Amino acid sequence: MGPSWCCRNMQLVLRVAAANFILLFAVRLIGRRTASQMAPFDLVVLFLFAGVTITAVLDDDHSMVGAVSAPGTIGLMHILVSWLKPRSGWVGRIVDGTPVVVYEHWAFSDKRMTRLHLTRQDVMAAARQRGLMRLSQVRYAVAERDGQISIVQKDAL
């Protein structure tokens, strides 16, 4: 338990912290779909990300300290980000994103929808869940931070 033991464990903590940010970036790239909206392929990709990342993080470390340090670091990083989000607007925007209007004034914003990996069928499915059968009944459609699509009915305003 000399200096090399401490350095090795600190490297593990730094690898976990880096992996946390890499996974956050990857999830943000994938888009805003909630787990209920994900296709099976989307879930497989997320599990593959996690499996590859855990292999890179733990490397050859099969120690009890490594087994405790990795999830402990992830937990502390989660607490830190949760603490920072309400105190810093840009942290919240990076981690959670912002609501995005994808349909307004009788038109879809194809550029925004492409960036969010949404389709017109996704918006129509959300409208049908609200009991609206035609696009002419929709005033706005908003992709929320959690991946859900909010629909504002024309006569609701």
Q: Do 13 and 77 share a domain, yes or no?
A: yes
Q: Do 76 and 134 share a domain, yes or no?
A: no
- Give the tens place of pLDDT for each residue, 99-141: 899 999 889 999 999 988 889 999 999 999 999 999 999 999 9
Q: Do 85 and 114 share a domain, yes or no?
A: no
Q: Do 104 and 83 share a domain, yes or no?
A: no
Q: How far from 113 is each of 61, 86, 122, CA to CA, in Å? A: 43, 27, 10
Q: Do 133 and 85 share a domain, yes or no?
A: no
Q: Do 91 and 106 share a domain, yes or no?
A: no
Domain that holds residue 19: 3-96
- Give the tens place of pLDDT for each residue, 46-98: 677 777 677 666 666 666 666 667 777 777 777 888 888 888 888 888 777 78
Going across the sheet that includes 107-108, the strands are: 107-108, 100-104, 138-143, 149-153
Instruction: State pTM to two decimals.
Output: 0.59
Q: Do 41 and 56 share a domain, yes or no?
A: yes
Total domains in the fold of the chain: 2
